Structure 1
Amino acid sequence: MNNLTEAYVDSLALNAAAIKNGKDLVKKNSFQQLSHSEDHTLLFGECKGSGKEPYRCSADFLKPDSPVFRCSCPSRQFPCKHLLGLLYAYAAGKPFAPAEVPQEIADKREKAEKREEKKRESAAAEPTEPVKRKTNKSASIKKAAAQLEGLAVAEKLLRSLVQAGLGSADKKTVQLVADQCKQLGNYYIPGVQTAFRGLLLDLQSKEDRETVYTRAAGRMTLLHSLLKKSREHLTARRDNPDLPPDAESTLEEAIGHAWQLAELRERGLTRRDSRLLQLAFRSYGDDARGEFVDEGFWLELGAGDVCVTRTYRPYRAAKHMKEDDSAFHLASVDELFVYPGELNARVRWETQTFEQPDTATFESARSAAVQSIPEAIKRVKGQIKNPLSDKHPAVLLAYSQIVEANGSYALKDIQGNLLALADLPCLQQPTTHLLPLLGNEDLNNQAALLMFEHDLESNRLMAQPLSIVSNNGVVRLLY
């Protein structure tokens, strides 16, 4: 357990409050007993609680990559503050006395080993190729029919707004449509319902009307395309239930399909032995989804792709769910799952090991950058022209210099092309004001992770820097 540091314990906590509560237990000397097994694979202790009996907690590192945490407290948070306190105490060098492994934990270890043995025997007996799941044709037909019925409801709602005109969409009208929009939850099209909620939230905004109408018009265009493509796709699915999900575009996810890892593996949407370096991170609230979104931008060093991780935490349950955070170590992943997507495909993995990035890591990241502004713009335009594509792609772009004129900044590539930098409204977190704080080394001959957006008023692409990637490290402007 040499790697059990305070930073590691921080990464286990669900939120900042859990970190504070765990550390407070150590400061207040709430642990009546702190022990470790002879081989140092088990930490366990007793912590004073609100009742007569102390809470018994343990951290089992028999398998370092998948530790097991246990506590007798009734908390719904996991790891609870008692477990975090136990780990913080060890990381802080508090004295732990050697002791025998409690019989209760020894029994649980034995049961766990038997389960693992059965899994190994079962895995050895199974074919190496993944078995394709059979489609329940009857259920598939019924679901597609229900989804098509829901699309008809959504089309009717959109048509009513278009015919009435955005200028007549007063508070009462919007509330009426919002009430009707709730019906879409009955038709297995949560993605369509979320898109509609986004439109309604725009119409309810207190910003100036011109800004609201411009944004709402874009939402309506997206909704129109989504409903049209969804109807075509689901009609084909209804008529042919053996038709597999569309793994070539983001349409399935836009409708509301939640990809299972087994589905992605079955369709070959995995990569082996990937190494990922996080370049930027942000958390924000998505009111249309009713969820917090933890979003990380990663560079997959093998392919040189900028990919994205997204973790969703419903508002109502957020305090019981672990928040993602900035990651500064290089993640090594045995199996990387890649969701259907374009420039910034969403990725996910089940297990990982961390290592400290070195100069070679940053040099590899720097060399993966797009080398010219025209090429980067070509890639971005190729994506955003599709109505259903992500309108805010991120690109790692090499530059020869970051230049400033009259308070505005721009990137210059090797060919002398210029790309203006600006803060994007969608991020709601400015970064360009941080550029003057960069050292001369960071302003010349490096690479920048940029998020793009098409500004409708000027009909120009805007780009906001999220981080600077040099041969020596990553300077984060957004995290």
Structure 2
Amino acid sequence: MPTITEAYVDSLAPNAGAIKNGRDLVKKNSFPQLNETEDGSLLFGECKGSGKEPYRCSVDFANEANPVFRCTCPSRQFPCKHTLGLLYARALGKSFERADIPQDIAEKRDKAEKREEKKKEAAAADNGDAAKAKRKTNKSALVKKIAVQLDGLGMLEKLVLQLTQSGLGSVDKKTLQMVEEQAKQLGNHYIPGAQAGLREFVLTMRAEGDREAVYTSAMEKLLALRALTKKGKSYLEQRAENPDLPMETASTLEEQLGHAWQLAELREYGRVQTDAELVQLAFLSYADEARGEFADTGWWIDLKEGAIRVTRHLRPFRAVRALREEDTFHGVVKAEELFVYPGDLNARVRWEASTFRDPEPADYAKIKALAAPSYPEVVKQAKNVIKNPLADKNPVLLVAFRSIERMGDEYLLRDAQGKPLPVADIGLGGRPTTPMLSLLGDEELRDQAALVMFRHDLEANRLSVQIMSIVTDRRIVRLLY
């Protein structure tokens, strides 16, 4: 069984409301009975409910990486507040009596073990000792889909050319309505990245404020759409001629063209790390109006590879109540398999089976040791990403700093050689972090590491960073969480 801390239980909760409700059950002493098995692999008990009979709840750690939650309550929330309350009771030091495993749970464990054995036997029969067979492609369906995608990219290409030639100053409300209709039509062409990009252009043009700044941002989005249509058409035409060509894994092109990567595909392309350890350095949940969804985004450092990875949990606006909301996580994740999606500097990752532990001083020391020491090298790395029209315009890196200094109304990061990095709020989800720097002490402002997000201001031709968190020898100071 993993070390059960409040942070660990928080990470399992589907939303903030479930966290509060689970904690309240413990505060109200709603558990007249709390039990655990001799080996500690099962926590179970009874919780007072609205009826005469208490709810029987349990958390089974037979498979530590994938605990099983069971409860007799009618809640559709998973895990429910009763199983969360059971875990909070353990995390908060409540006394659990030793007891034998209940018969019904023993039977369910036995059935689960037999199912797992059958899966392993089936997998062994399919694979033998040879390498796994490559996934078969339905060539006919692929070619048909590509034809529809190419048709959509052709429509988008004409629209981008029209907008560019006529000039952004001539774009009025009627034009934006037409562009919005075109964006809706792209939904039938399996190119969600292009559709979202076009919607972003519309939202940008409708924004209030300095028109020159608006036009600069809007033109940047048109250039990205132009690059997507050009590279997308070339790539899809090649795949249409030869469906057996390997998929693009050096960039997010496939994903922008509508492909949803399956874990089996990532494994086939060798995009899997084993026994990975990750620590979350920053977290932000924001509304992506162009895609119509909330994006719960975490930035993590891979303690083995040293790379900054990203997790992104998407919750469509229309289904937000039915989906679990991700939150800040404070522990160290130990993933048996870490699936790395195609991407550039900050590749997206996902894991299935994992365990957790509390961070130790050695972890903070390792994170600081992985921070980039030279700002000229860091700037070069960030610029190489930003200049790619299809890459993320806001790369994130971990940098070491000698000091964070205030210069008038601005702040600067300085490396060991005294080279500066200007600090500014870059509109990250509408969350400024620079004002928080004045609240930090000398310990956080000297000889530490910072997670920073880059942005290139086209108008001022200036590269600046927003500080997302600071890593010291004994903790992570999160400015975004």
By the TM > 0.5 criterion, same fold?
yes
What SS is found at the alignment partner of 2:254? Answer: helix
Amino acid at match of 1:189: I
Could you tell me how far apart the structure 2 residues matched to 1:74 and 1:399 are? Answer: 53
What SS is found at the alignment partner of 1:281? Answer: strand
Amino acid at match of 2:468: L
- Tell me what 2:414 maps to: 412
- Tell me what 2:444 maps to: 442
Q: 1:307 to 1:39 in 2, by over 3 A?
A: closer
Could you tell me how far apart the structure 2 residues matched to 1:43 and 1:123 are? Answer: 32
Q: 1:348 to 1:152 in 2, by over 3 A?
A: same
- Tell me what 1:295 maps to: 297
Q: Is the 8 A contact 2:216 2:459 kept in 1?
A: no
What residue ranges of structure 1 are gaps of 5+ in the alignment? none
- Tell me what 1:67 maps to: 67
- How far apart are residue 133 of structure 1 and its match? 0.7
- How far apart are residue 462 of structure 1 and its match? 1.1
- Tell me what 2:331 maps to: 329
Could you tell me how far apart the structure 2 residues matched to 1:356 and 1:23 are? Answer: 20
Q: Is the 8 A contact 2:333 2:355 kept in 1?
A: yes
What residue ranges of structure 2 are gaps of 5+ in the alignment? none
- Tell me what 1:120 maps to: 120
Could you tell me how far apart the structure 2 residues matched to 1:84 and 1:280 are? Answer: 24
Q: 1:361 to 1:460 in 2, by over 3 A?
A: same
After the TM superposition, which of the residue ranges 149-158 and 216-225 deviates more from structure 2?
A: 149-158
Q: 1:48 to 1:135 in 2, by over 3 A?
A: same
Q: Equivalences for 1:74-223 in 2 at 5 Å?
A: 74-92=74-92, 101-125=101-125, 126-127=127-128, 129-223=131-225
After the TM superposition, which of the residue ranges 267-276 and 231-240 deviates more from structure 2?
A: 267-276
- How far apart are residue 314 of structure 1 and its match? 1.6
Q: Is the 8 A contact 1:148 1:234 kept in 2?
A: yes
| CA-to-aligned-CA distance 1:127-179 (integer Å, 9 cap, x gap) | 35232111111111111111111212323433443354323333343233213
Q: 1:58 to 1:415 in 2, by over 3 A?
A: closer
- Tell me what 2:4 maps to: 4
Q: Is the 8 A contact 1:192 1:256 kept in 2?
A: no
Could you tell me how far apart the structure 1 residues matched to 2:59 and 2:359 are? Answer: 28
Amino acid at match of 2:59: A
| CA-to-aligned-CA distance 1:303-350 (integer Å, 9 cap, x gap) | 222222222122222233222222222222232222222221222222
Could you tell me how far apart the structure 1 residues matched to 2:477 and 2:48 are? Answer: 43
Q: Is the 8 A contact 1:409 1:420 kept in 2?
A: yes
- How far apart are residue 461 of structure 1 and its match? 0.4
Could you tell me how far apart the structure 2 residues matched to 1:233 and 1:47 are? Answer: 58
Q: Equivalences for 1:168-317 in 2 at 5 Å?
A: 168-317=170-319
What SS is found at the alignment partner of 1:295? Answer: strand
- How far apart are residue 223 of structure 1 and its match? 0.6
Q: Is the 8 A contact 1:14 1:319 kept in 2?
A: no
1:367 to 360, 366, 369: 369
After the TM superposition, which of the residue ranges 99-108 and 230-239 deviates more from structure 2?
A: 99-108
- Tell me what 1:357 maps to: 359
Q: 1:154 to 1:67 in 2, by over 3 A?
A: same
Could you tell me how far apart the structure 2 residues matched to 1:365 and 1:108 are? Answer: 42
| Identity across the alignment (%) | 57
Q: Is the 8 A contact 2:3 2:357 kept in 1?
A: no
- How far apart are residue 267 of structure 1 and its match? 1.0
Amino acid at match of 1:477: L
Could you tell me how far apart the structure 2 residues matched to 1:237 and 1:166 are? Answer: 35
| CA-to-aligned-CA distance 1:178-199 (integer Å, 9 cap, x gap) | 1332121111111111111111
Q: Is the 8 A contact 1:369 1:398 kept in 2?
A: yes
Amino acid at match of 1:321: L
- Tell me what 1:320 maps to: 322
Q: 1:417 to 1:95 in 2, by over 3 A?
A: closer
What SS is found at the alignment partner of 1:186? Answer: coil
| CA-to-aligned-CA distance 1:417-453 (integer Å, 9 cap, x gap) | 2221111124421222222333223322222221110
What SS is found at the alignment partner of 1:213? Answer: helix
Number of positions where the alignment pairs a residue of Structure 1 with one of Structure 2: 479
What SS is found at the alignment partner of 2:455? Answer: strand
Q: 1:181 to 1:52 in 2, by over 3 A?
A: farther
Q: Is the 8 A contact 1:226 1:388 kept in 2?
A: yes
What SS is found at the alignment partner of 2:245? Answer: coil
Q: 1:93 to 1:358 in 2, by over 3 A?
A: closer
2:393 to 391, 394, 397: 391
- Tell me what 2:346 maps to: 344
| CA-to-aligned-CA distance 1:386-422 (integer Å, 9 cap, x gap) | 1111110112222222222213211222222222111
Could you tell me how far apart the structure 2 residues matched to 1:277 and 1:91 are? Answer: 21
Q: Is the 8 A contact 1:398 1:413 kept in 2?
A: yes
Could you tell me how far apart the structure 2 residues matched to 1:471 and 1:314 are? Answer: 39
Q: Is the 8 A contact 1:14 1:320 kept in 2?
A: no
Could you tell me how far apart the structure 2 residues matched to 1:397 and 1:437 are? Answer: 21
Q: 1:213 to 1:133 in 2, by over 3 A?
A: same
- How far apart are residue 65 of structure 1 and its match? 2.8
1:402 to 377, 401, 404: 404
Q: 1:96 to 1:446 in 2, by over 3 A?
A: closer
CA-based RMSD of the aligned residues comes to: 2.4
- How far apart are residue 246 of structure 1 and its match? 0.4
Q: 1:169 to 1:3 in 2, by over 3 A?
A: same
Q: Is the 8 A contact 1:59 1:70 kept in 2?
A: yes
Q: 1:456 to 1:26 in 2, by over 3 A?
A: same
- How far apart are residue 42 of structure 1 and its match? 3.3
Q: Between the two structures, name the one with larger relative contact order (CA 8 Å, sep ≥ 6).
A: 2
- How far apart are residue 79 of structure 1 and its match? 0.9
Could you tell me how far apart the structure 2 residues matched to 1:147 and 1:268 are? Answer: 27
| CA-to-aligned-CA distance 1:354-395 (integer Å, 9 cap, x gap) | 233333322222222222111111111111111111110112
Amino acid at match of 1:188: Y
Q: 1:249 to 1:90 in 2, by over 3 A?
A: closer
Could you tell me how far apart the structure 2 residues matched to 1:358 and 1:25 are? Answer: 31
What SS is found at the alignment partner of 1:452? Answer: strand
Q: Is the 8 A contact 2:3 2:356 kept in 1?
A: no
Amino acid at match of 1:182: K
